[in-house]
Amino acid sequence: MATAAHNSTAVHNESGHAALMDHVYRHQRHIYNLTRKYYLLGRDRMIRELALASHEHVVEVGCGTARNLIHIAKRYPGVRLYGLDASAEMLSTARESVRRHGLEDRIVLAEGYAEEMTPALFGRDAPFDRALFPYSLSMIPDWRGALKAAGQAVNPEGRIHIVDFGDLAGLWPPAARLLRAWLRLFHVAPREEIIRGLEVAPKAHQFALLPGRYAFLASLNPTNACDI
């Protein structure tokens, strides 16, 4: 498995966001997959709907424990996968998990910021076919910058896929308030601007809401993904 070791140093020296993510996930990473499956809804639907061909190259931005990358590798034989995360703690769990599943030859992990993501970070000189943001834009401070970087890193014929918290407007208001307070503890902020943008977006982007507007799924055209 290749990792961008030089980037590890850069991330930790330059900003507090990576350190904040490490702080959030230092202990949580051990129970992350078990606990998150009950509330990071829509990730398996996103994976099913990717309908990947075996030659495709797919990057997950904010890959956490590599849970999604491992599911994708098993569902789509032949696909090459890349995972970027700002947290060295999360990546250490991801590396261990990738190794345990014997997928080191198909999943490349790198430490770095979504806002600065390029194929070169993974040693590639060609663009990706897809970029995935499963529940990461709600934690990425400059989410527009992250979409812009992905738009440049993905082939114009490719797609950018997002699944993330919705505006919660269809939930019972006290439940929505409680959920927001819970998410704030983990520095998660539902990106309501994305939903508002997608509701009026051109057909090149596709968009679906889960019940209660709890979460949304979107598939974006990379050439204008950052305009939403």
Ligand X SMILES: C[S@@+](CC[C@H](N)C(=O)[O-])C[C@H]1O[C@@H](n2cnc3c(N)ncnc32)[C@H](O)[C@@H]1O
Counting contacts by CB under 6 A, is residue 166 touching ligand X? no
Q: Could you give the dihedral angle defined by the CA atoms of residues 87, 92, 94 and 95, in that order, rounded to the nearest 10 degrees?
A: 130
Kindly tell me which of 193 and 199 has the beta carbon lying closer to ligand X. 193
Residue corresponding to tokens 């850069």: 10
Q: How far apart are CA 65 and CA 87, in angstroms?
A: 10
Q: Which is nearer to ligand X, 26 or 199 (CB)?
A: 26
Q: Which x/- pattern, by CB under 6 A, does the window 25-54 give for ligand X?
A: -----------x---x--x-----------
Q: How far is the CB of 126 from ligand X (least distance, A)?
A: 22
* Contact map string, positions 103 to 142, toward ligand X, x by CB under 6 A: ----------xx-------------------xxx--xx--
Angle at 143 between CA 142 and CA 148, to 5 degrees: 100
Footprint on residues 50-109 left by ligand X (CB under 6 A): 62-64, 67-68, 84-87, 90
Rg of the chain over all Cα atoms, to the nearest angstrom: 16
Segment (H or E) for 50: helix 43-50
Residue type, 126: A
Nearer to ligand X, 44 or 55 (CB): 44
